Amino acid sequence: MKFAYRDDQLLVRDTIRAFVRSRIVPNADRWNEAGKFPMELLPELAALGLTGLAVPQEYGGAGLDAVTIAMLMEEFGAGDGSIGLTIAAHNSLCIGHLLIAASDEQKERWLPPLARGEYLGCWALTEPASGSDALNAQSRGRRDGDGYVIDGTKQFITNASVAGFAVVMAGAGERKLTAFGVMRGTPGFAAGKPEEKMGLHASDTAPLLLQGCRVPERDRIGRDGEAFDDVKKVLDRGRIGIGALAIGLGRASLEVAIRYAKERTQFGRAIAEFQMIQWKLARARTELDAARLLVHRAAALADAGRPFTDAASKAKLFASQAGTRAADASLQVLGGYGYLRDFPVERHLRDVRLMEIGEGTSEVQRIVIARDLLRAS
Protein backbone atom coordinates (compact mmCIF):
# COMPACT_ATOMS: atom_id res chain seq x y z
CA MET A 1 0.00 0.00 0.00
CA LYS A 2 1.38 3.44 -0.85
CA PHE A 3 1.74 6.12 1.77
CA ALA A 4 2.39 9.14 -0.40
CA TYR A 5 -0.61 11.23 0.54
CA ARG A 6 -2.44 13.12 -2.17
CA ASP A 7 -2.52 16.92 -2.09
CA ASP A 8 -6.29 16.92 -1.53
CA GLN A 9 -5.88 14.61 1.49
CA LEU A 10 -3.23 16.88 3.01
CA LEU A 11 -5.36 19.96 2.32
CA VAL A 12 -8.39 18.46 4.09
CA ARG A 13 -6.21 17.36 7.00
CA ASP A 14 -4.60 20.80 7.37
CA THR A 15 -8.00 22.53 7.22
CA ILE A 16 -9.36 20.29 9.97
CA ARG A 17 -6.14 20.58 11.99
CA ALA A 18 -6.53 24.38 11.95
CA PHE A 19 -10.21 24.10 12.96
CA VAL A 20 -9.37 21.71 15.80
CA ARG A 21 -6.62 24.02 17.08
CA SER A 22 -8.75 27.14 16.98
CA ARG A 23 -12.16 25.81 17.97
CA ILE A 24 -11.81 22.46 19.75
CA VAL A 25 -8.60 22.61 21.81
CA PRO A 26 -9.41 25.91 23.59
CA ASN A 27 -12.84 24.61 24.63
CA ALA A 28 -12.10 20.97 25.40
CA ASP A 29 -11.67 21.43 29.16
CA ARG A 30 -14.86 23.50 29.44
CA TRP A 31 -16.92 20.99 27.44
CA ASN A 32 -15.58 18.08 29.47
CA GLU A 33 -16.30 19.95 32.73
CA ALA A 34 -19.88 20.49 31.53
CA GLY A 35 -20.12 16.73 31.02
CA LYS A 36 -22.21 16.74 27.86
CA PHE A 37 -21.78 17.04 24.13
CA PRO A 38 -21.82 20.73 23.08
CA MET A 39 -24.75 20.69 20.66
CA GLU A 40 -23.91 24.25 19.53
CA LEU A 41 -20.88 22.73 17.76
CA LEU A 42 -22.98 20.55 15.47
CA PRO A 43 -23.68 23.20 12.75
CA GLU A 44 -19.96 24.00 12.58
CA LEU A 45 -19.06 20.33 12.20
CA ALA A 46 -21.72 20.02 9.51
CA ALA A 47 -20.45 23.08 7.63
CA LEU A 48 -17.03 21.40 7.39
CA GLY A 49 -18.53 18.17 6.06
CA LEU A 50 -17.76 16.30 9.28
CA THR A 51 -21.28 14.94 9.66
CA GLY A 52 -21.18 13.16 6.31
CA LEU A 53 -17.56 12.11 5.93
CA ALA A 54 -17.99 9.00 3.78
CA VAL A 55 -21.47 9.82 2.47
CA PRO A 56 -21.42 10.10 -1.33
CA GLN A 57 -21.88 13.64 -2.64
CA GLU A 58 -25.18 12.66 -4.30
CA TYR A 59 -26.61 12.31 -0.77
CA GLY A 60 -25.07 15.57 0.38
CA GLY A 61 -21.93 14.15 2.00
CA ALA A 62 -18.22 14.85 1.67
CA GLY A 63 -17.52 11.53 -0.10
CA LEU A 64 -14.12 11.11 1.55
CA ASP A 65 -11.97 7.97 1.31
CA ALA A 66 -11.01 5.93 4.37
CA VAL A 67 -7.40 7.19 4.52
CA THR A 68 -8.53 10.82 4.62
CA ILE A 69 -11.13 10.00 7.27
CA ALA A 70 -8.43 8.31 9.38
CA MET A 71 -6.28 11.45 9.05
CA LEU A 72 -9.20 13.59 10.25
CA MET A 73 -10.02 11.30 13.15
CA GLU A 74 -6.42 11.58 14.35
CA GLU A 75 -6.76 15.38 14.34
CA PHE A 76 -9.94 15.17 16.41
CA GLY A 77 -8.25 12.79 18.83
CA ALA A 78 -5.50 15.37 19.23
CA GLY A 79 -8.14 18.02 19.98
CA ASP A 80 -10.74 16.33 22.15
CA GLY A 81 -11.41 12.60 22.30
CA SER A 82 -15.05 13.26 23.15
CA ILE A 83 -15.77 15.23 20.02
CA GLY A 84 -13.82 12.63 18.05
CA LEU A 85 -15.85 9.76 19.47
CA THR A 86 -19.11 11.62 18.79
CA ILE A 87 -18.12 12.07 15.15
CA ALA A 88 -16.92 8.47 14.93
CA ALA A 89 -20.19 7.01 16.23
CA HIS A 90 -22.25 9.23 13.92
CA ASN A 91 -20.14 8.59 10.81
CA SER A 92 -18.46 5.20 11.10
CA LEU A 93 -21.16 3.33 13.00
CA CYS A 94 -24.58 4.85 12.27
CA ILE A 95 -23.97 6.16 8.74
CA GLY A 96 -21.48 3.36 8.10
CA HIS A 97 -24.20 0.78 8.65
CA LEU A 98 -26.54 2.59 6.24
CA LEU A 99 -23.85 2.81 3.57
CA ILE A 100 -23.23 -0.92 3.86
CA ALA A 101 -26.75 -2.29 4.24
CA ALA A 102 -29.54 0.23 3.60
CA SER A 103 -31.66 0.10 0.45
CA ASP A 104 -31.49 2.96 -2.07
CA GLU A 105 -34.87 4.21 -0.81
CA GLN A 106 -33.64 4.19 2.81
CA LYS A 107 -30.42 5.95 1.83
CA GLU A 108 -32.42 8.69 0.12
CA ARG A 109 -34.57 9.14 3.24
CA TRP A 110 -31.96 8.89 5.97
CA LEU A 111 -28.55 9.93 4.62
CA PRO A 112 -29.15 13.57 3.57
CA PRO A 113 -30.37 14.88 6.97
CA LEU A 114 -27.61 12.96 8.78
CA ALA A 115 -24.98 14.27 6.36
CA ARG A 116 -26.32 17.83 6.74
CA GLY A 117 -25.99 17.47 10.50
CA GLU A 118 -29.69 18.15 11.12
CA TYR A 119 -29.28 15.62 13.90
CA LEU A 120 -26.71 13.14 15.17
CA GLY A 121 -26.96 9.40 14.63
CA CYS A 122 -26.15 6.54 16.99
CA TRP A 123 -25.65 2.79 16.57
CA ALA A 124 -26.94 0.37 19.15
CA LEU A 125 -25.47 -3.12 19.30
CA THR A 126 -24.35 -3.70 22.91
CA GLU A 127 -26.79 -4.84 25.58
CA PRO A 128 -26.43 -5.30 29.35
CA ALA A 129 -25.84 -9.06 28.95
CA SER A 130 -24.23 -9.08 25.50
CA GLY A 131 -21.02 -7.12 24.91
CA SER A 132 -18.25 -9.04 23.18
CA ASP A 133 -20.77 -11.82 22.55
CA ALA A 134 -23.11 -9.57 20.58
CA LEU A 135 -25.17 -12.48 19.24
CA ASN A 136 -26.39 -13.20 22.76
CA ALA A 137 -28.81 -10.26 22.45
CA GLN A 138 -31.79 -10.48 24.80
CA SER A 139 -33.75 -7.78 22.97
CA ARG A 140 -36.32 -8.91 20.45
CA GLY A 141 -37.61 -7.52 17.17
CA ARG A 142 -40.81 -9.51 16.59
CA ARG A 143 -42.84 -9.49 13.44
CA ASP A 144 -46.24 -7.94 14.10
CA GLY A 145 -48.71 -7.29 11.31
CA ASP A 146 -47.05 -5.20 8.61
CA GLY A 147 -44.01 -4.38 10.72
CA TYR A 148 -42.05 -5.22 13.87
CA VAL A 149 -42.23 -4.51 17.58
CA ILE A 150 -38.89 -4.06 19.38
CA ASP A 151 -38.42 -4.68 23.10
CA GLY A 152 -35.16 -4.56 25.03
CA THR A 153 -32.35 -2.40 26.39
CA LYS A 154 -29.25 -1.34 24.48
CA GLN A 155 -26.30 -0.44 26.72
CA PHE A 156 -23.41 2.07 26.42
CA ILE A 157 -24.71 3.77 23.27
CA THR A 158 -22.62 6.74 22.15
CA ASN A 159 -24.85 9.73 21.27
CA ALA A 160 -27.98 7.92 22.55
CA SER A 161 -29.48 10.91 24.32
CA VAL A 162 -28.43 13.50 21.72
CA ALA A 163 -29.19 11.59 18.51
CA GLY A 164 -32.20 12.08 16.26
CA PHE A 165 -31.83 8.71 14.58
CA ALA A 166 -30.61 5.28 15.65
CA VAL A 167 -29.60 2.09 13.94
CA VAL A 168 -30.81 -0.54 16.41
CA MET A 169 -29.83 -4.21 16.34
CA ALA A 170 -32.54 -6.38 17.89
CA GLY A 171 -32.33 -10.07 18.66
CA ALA A 172 -34.12 -12.35 16.20
CA GLY A 173 -33.68 -15.58 18.19
CA GLU A 174 -31.11 -18.39 17.65
CA ARG A 175 -28.13 -16.02 17.83
CA LYS A 176 -29.45 -13.82 15.06
CA LEU A 177 -29.88 -10.05 14.78
CA THR A 178 -32.10 -7.79 12.70
CA ALA A 179 -31.25 -4.10 12.19
CA PHE A 180 -33.77 -1.25 12.17
CA GLY A 181 -33.64 2.49 11.58
CA VAL A 182 -35.57 4.30 14.32
CA MET A 183 -36.26 8.04 14.52
CA ARG A 184 -36.25 9.83 17.88
CA GLY A 185 -39.85 10.48 18.85
CA THR A 186 -41.03 7.02 17.82
CA PRO A 187 -43.32 5.80 20.63
CA GLY A 188 -41.58 3.24 22.84
CA PHE A 189 -38.09 4.55 22.01
CA ALA A 190 -36.22 6.57 24.66
CA ALA A 191 -32.73 7.19 25.97
CA GLY A 192 -31.97 6.38 29.61
CA LYS A 193 -29.83 8.33 32.05
CA PRO A 194 -26.38 9.20 30.63
CA GLU A 195 -23.53 7.19 32.16
CA GLU A 196 -20.86 8.78 34.36
CA LYS A 197 -17.58 7.75 32.82
CA MET A 198 -13.87 7.78 33.66
CA GLY A 199 -13.20 10.01 30.63
CA LEU A 200 -14.73 11.27 27.39
CA HIS A 201 -17.06 13.42 29.47
CA ALA A 202 -18.25 15.49 26.52
CA SER A 203 -19.29 12.35 24.64
CA ASP A 204 -22.80 11.18 25.43
CA THR A 205 -23.12 7.54 26.51
CA ALA A 206 -26.54 6.27 27.57
CA PRO A 207 -28.78 3.23 27.34
CA LEU A 208 -31.54 3.08 24.75
CA LEU A 209 -34.82 1.76 26.08
CA LEU A 210 -37.16 0.06 23.63
CA GLN A 211 -40.58 -0.83 24.95
CA GLY A 212 -43.19 -1.97 22.46
CA CYS A 213 -41.44 0.18 19.86
CA ARG A 214 -43.32 -0.34 16.57
CA VAL A 215 -41.26 -0.07 13.38
CA PRO A 216 -42.66 -0.46 9.86
CA GLU A 217 -41.17 -3.10 7.57
CA ARG A 218 -39.70 -0.38 5.32
CA ASP A 219 -37.41 0.64 8.21
CA ARG A 220 -35.80 -2.78 8.57
CA ILE A 221 -32.20 -2.50 7.32
CA GLY A 222 -30.99 -5.51 5.37
CA ARG A 223 -32.45 -8.97 5.67
CA ASP A 224 -34.42 -10.41 8.55
CA GLY A 225 -32.04 -12.09 11.04
CA GLU A 226 -28.95 -11.39 8.91
CA ALA A 227 -27.69 -8.14 10.42
CA PHE A 228 -24.59 -9.64 12.07
CA ASP A 229 -22.79 -9.89 8.73
CA ASP A 230 -23.33 -6.15 8.26
CA VAL A 231 -22.37 -5.44 11.89
CA LYS A 232 -18.97 -7.09 11.35
CA LYS A 233 -18.35 -4.96 8.26
CA VAL A 234 -19.38 -1.80 10.14
CA LEU A 235 -16.99 -2.63 12.98
CA ASP A 236 -14.11 -3.33 10.57
CA ARG A 237 -14.32 0.27 9.34
CA GLY A 238 -15.12 1.66 12.78
CA ARG A 239 -11.97 0.13 14.24
CA ILE A 240 -9.80 2.12 11.82
CA GLY A 241 -11.33 5.31 13.22
CA ILE A 242 -10.88 4.24 16.85
CA GLY A 243 -7.20 3.48 16.14
CA ALA A 244 -6.79 6.93 14.58
CA LEU A 245 -8.43 8.63 17.57
CA ALA A 246 -6.03 6.82 19.89
CA ILE A 247 -3.03 8.03 17.86
CA GLY A 248 -4.32 11.61 18.07
CA LEU A 249 -4.79 11.41 21.83
CA GLY A 250 -1.32 9.91 22.31
CA ARG A 251 0.21 12.50 19.99
CA ALA A 252 -1.40 15.39 21.86
CA SER A 253 -0.11 14.18 25.21
CA LEU A 254 3.37 13.61 23.78
CA GLU A 255 3.45 17.18 22.40
CA VAL A 256 2.75 18.50 25.90
CA ALA A 257 5.46 16.23 27.37
CA ILE A 258 8.09 17.33 24.84
CA ARG A 259 7.45 21.03 25.57
CA TYR A 260 7.46 20.38 29.31
CA ALA A 261 10.66 18.32 29.26
CA LYS A 262 12.54 21.17 27.59
CA GLU A 263 11.33 23.73 30.13
CA ARG A 264 11.40 21.83 33.40
CA THR A 265 14.76 21.79 35.14
CA GLN A 266 15.89 19.41 37.89
CA PHE A 267 19.43 18.78 39.11
CA GLY A 268 20.45 21.94 37.23
CA ARG A 269 19.37 20.85 33.76
CA ALA A 270 16.34 20.44 31.59
CA ILE A 271 14.78 17.04 32.29
CA ALA A 272 14.84 16.50 28.48
CA GLU A 273 18.57 15.95 28.87
CA PHE A 274 18.03 12.87 31.03
CA GLN A 275 18.28 9.71 29.02
CA MET A 276 15.36 8.06 30.80
CA ILE A 277 13.10 10.93 29.73
CA GLN A 278 14.40 10.77 26.15
CA TRP A 279 13.74 7.02 26.11
CA LYS A 280 10.08 7.58 27.03
CA LEU A 281 9.63 10.26 24.37
CA ALA A 282 11.40 8.22 21.68
CA ARG A 283 9.42 5.08 22.41
CA ALA A 284 6.10 6.92 22.37
CA ARG A 285 6.86 8.67 19.09
CA THR A 286 8.05 5.46 17.45
CA GLU A 287 4.98 3.52 18.54
CA LEU A 288 2.60 6.26 17.40
CA ASP A 289 4.30 6.39 13.99
CA ALA A 290 4.06 2.60 13.71
CA ALA A 291 0.41 2.75 14.75
CA ARG A 292 -0.31 5.33 12.05
CA LEU A 293 1.21 3.07 9.42
CA LEU A 294 -1.02 0.20 10.56
CA VAL A 295 -4.12 2.40 10.63
CA HIS A 296 -3.45 3.91 7.21
CA ARG A 297 -2.65 0.49 5.76
CA ALA A 298 -6.02 -0.82 6.90
CA ALA A 299 -7.72 2.29 5.48
CA ALA A 300 -5.83 2.00 2.17
CA LEU A 301 -6.88 -1.66 1.86
CA ALA A 302 -10.50 -0.62 2.47
CA ASP A 303 -10.21 2.09 -0.20
CA ALA A 304 -8.74 -0.44 -2.64
CA GLY A 305 -11.71 -2.76 -2.08
CA ARG A 306 -9.43 -5.44 -0.65
CA PRO A 307 -10.06 -7.51 2.51
CA PHE A 308 -9.06 -5.53 5.60
CA THR A 309 -10.68 -7.24 8.60
CA ASP A 310 -7.46 -8.45 10.20
CA ALA A 311 -5.57 -5.30 9.18
CA ALA A 312 -8.23 -3.20 10.97
CA SER A 313 -8.02 -5.38 14.09
CA LYS A 314 -4.22 -5.17 14.16
CA ALA A 315 -4.39 -1.41 13.68
CA LYS A 316 -6.98 -0.94 16.44
CA LEU A 317 -5.20 -3.29 18.84
CA PHE A 318 -1.78 -1.70 18.43
CA ALA A 319 -2.88 1.93 18.09
CA SER A 320 -5.13 1.88 21.16
CA GLN A 321 -2.36 0.40 23.29
CA ALA A 322 0.30 2.70 21.79
CA GLY A 323 -1.97 5.69 22.48
CA THR A 324 -2.46 4.64 26.09
CA ARG A 325 1.26 4.01 26.57
CA ALA A 326 2.11 7.40 25.04
CA ALA A 327 -0.36 9.24 27.31
CA ASP A 328 0.85 7.33 30.36
CA ALA A 329 4.54 8.01 29.59
CA SER A 330 3.76 11.68 28.91
CA LEU A 331 2.01 11.97 32.27
CA GLN A 332 5.10 10.50 33.93
CA VAL A 333 7.34 13.05 32.19
CA LEU A 334 5.27 15.81 33.81
CA GLY A 335 5.73 14.25 37.25
CA GLY A 336 3.23 15.56 39.83
CA TYR A 337 2.02 18.23 37.41
CA GLY A 338 0.89 15.49 35.04
CA TYR A 339 -1.50 14.30 37.70
CA LEU A 340 -3.12 17.73 37.95
CA ARG A 341 -5.92 18.95 35.78
CA ASP A 342 -3.83 22.05 34.92
CA PHE A 343 -2.44 20.05 31.99
CA PRO A 344 -4.58 18.10 29.49
CA VAL A 345 -2.48 14.93 29.76
CA GLU A 346 -4.56 13.33 32.51
CA ARG A 347 -7.65 13.87 30.32
CA HIS A 348 -5.86 12.33 27.34
CA LEU A 349 -5.00 9.27 29.42
CA ARG A 350 -8.56 8.88 30.72
CA ASP A 351 -9.98 9.36 27.22
CA VAL A 352 -7.60 7.09 25.31
CA ARG A 353 -8.22 4.15 27.64
CA LEU A 354 -11.66 3.62 26.09
CA MET A 355 -10.06 2.88 22.72
CA GLU A 356 -8.86 -0.48 24.14
CA ILE A 357 -12.48 -1.36 24.98
CA GLY A 358 -14.98 0.14 22.52
CA GLU A 359 -15.75 -1.45 19.13
CA GLY A 360 -14.26 -4.72 20.32
CA THR A 361 -11.86 -5.07 23.25
CA SER A 362 -8.17 -5.80 22.73
CA GLU A 363 -8.95 -9.42 23.55
CA VAL A 364 -11.56 -9.54 20.79
CA GLN A 365 -9.08 -8.01 18.31
CA ARG A 366 -6.60 -10.78 19.16
CA ILE A 367 -9.32 -13.36 18.56
CA VAL A 368 -9.98 -11.88 15.09
CA ILE A 369 -6.26 -11.75 14.25
CA ALA A 370 -5.59 -15.29 15.50
CA ARG A 371 -8.61 -16.64 13.60
CA ASP A 372 -7.23 -15.15 10.40
CA LEU A 373 -3.73 -16.48 11.12
CA LEU A 374 -4.90 -20.00 11.82
CA ARG A 375 -7.15 -20.03 8.78
CA ALA A 376 -4.38 -18.72 6.51
CA SER A 377 -1.61 -21.09 7.62
Ligand X SMILES: Cc1cc2nc3c(=O)[nH]c(=O)nc-3n(C[C@H](O)[C@H](O)[C@H](O)COP(=O)(O)OP(=O)(O)OC[C@H]3O[C@@H](n4cnc5c(N)ncnc54)[C@H](O)[C@@H]3O)c2cc1C
Minimal distance, residue 250 CB to ligand X, in Å: 18
196: buried, middle or exposed (CB in 10 Å: 19+, 13-18, 0-12)? exposed
Minimal distance, residue 158 CB to ligand X, in Å: 3
The set of catalytic residues is 359
Minimal distance, residue 91 CB to ligand X, in Å: 12
Q: Phi-psi category of 307—alpha, beta or left, where left has phi over 0 and alpha has psi -120 to 50?
A: beta
- Residue 139, φ and ψ in degrees, nearest 5: -65, 165
Minimal distance, residue 242 CB to ligand X, in Å: 10
Question: Rounded to the nearest 10 degrees, how much is the dihedral formed by the CA atoms of 158, 161, 164, 165?
Answer: 50
Closest to ligand X by CB, 67 or 157: 157
Part of the chain binding ligand X (CB under 6 A), chosen from 19-27, 126-134, 271-279, 340-348: 126-134
Minimal distance, residue 317 CB to ligand X, in Å: 11
Closest to ligand X by CB, 87 or 257: 87
Nearest Cα to Cα of residue 185 among 119, 128, 87: 119
Among 126, 161, 313, 321, interactor with ligand X by CB under 6 A: 126
**Is residue 229 within the footprint of ligand X (CB under 6 A)?**
no
Query: With helix as H, strand as E and coil as C, how does the chain read?
Result: CCCCCCHHHHHHHHHHHHHHHHHHHHHHHHHHHHCCCCHHHHHHHHHCCCCCCCCCHHHCCCCCCHHHHHHHHHHHHHHCHHHHHHHHHHHHHHHHHHHHHCCHHHHHHHHHHHHCCCCEEEEECCECCECCCHHHCCCEEEEECCEEEEEEEEEEEECCCCEEEEEEEEECCCCCEEEEEEECCCCCEEECCCCCCCCCCCCCEEEEEEEEEEEEHHHEECCCCEHHHHHHHHHHHHHHHHHHHHHHHHHHHHHHHHHHHHHCEECCEEHHHCHHHHHHHHHHHHHHHHHHHHHHHHHHHHHCCCCCHHHHHHHHHHHHHHHHHHHHHHHHHCHHHHHCCCCCHHHHHHHHHHHHCCCCCHHHHHHHHHHHHHHHC
**Is residue 132 within the footprint of ligand X (CB under 6 A)?**
yes
Closest to ligand X by CB, 59 or 156: 156
Part of the chain binding ligand X (CB under 6 A), chosen from 155-163, 220-228, 278-286, 311-319: 155-163
Contacts with ligand X by CB under 6 A: the residue count is 22
Residue nearest to ligand X (CB): 131
Among 108, 144, 229, 363, interactor with ligand X by CB under 6 A: 363
**Is residue 181 within the footprint of ligand X (CB under 6 A)?**
no
**Is residue 124 within the footprint of ligand X (CB under 6 A)?**
yes
Part of the chain binding ligand X (CB under 6 A), chosen from 3-11, 32-40, 125-133, 259-267: 125-133
**Is residue 180 within the footprint of ligand X (CB under 6 A)?**
no
**Is residue 9 within the footprint of ligand X (CB under 6 A)?**
no
Closest to ligand X by CB, 30 or 371: 371
How far apart, in whole angstroms, are the C-alpha atoms of residue 109 and residue 104? 9
Among 230, 236, 351, 359, interactor with ligand X by CB under 6 A: 359
**Is residue 157 within the footprint of ligand X (CB under 6 A)?**
yes
Among 59, 76, 119, 123, interactor with ligand X by CB under 6 A: 123
**Is residue 161 within the footprint of ligand X (CB under 6 A)?**
no
Subset of 69-108 contacting ligand X (CB under 6 A): 89, 93
**Is residue 313 within the footprint of ligand X (CB under 6 A)?**
no
Part of the chain binding ligand X (CB under 6 A), chosen from 66-74, 121-129, 254-262, 312-320: 121-129
Part of the chain binding ligand X (CB under 6 A), chosen from 44-52, 171-179, 334-342, 351-359: 351-359
- List of residues contacting ligand X (CB under 6 A): 89, 93, 123-126, 131-132, 156-158, 197, 200, 205, 354, 357-361, 363-364
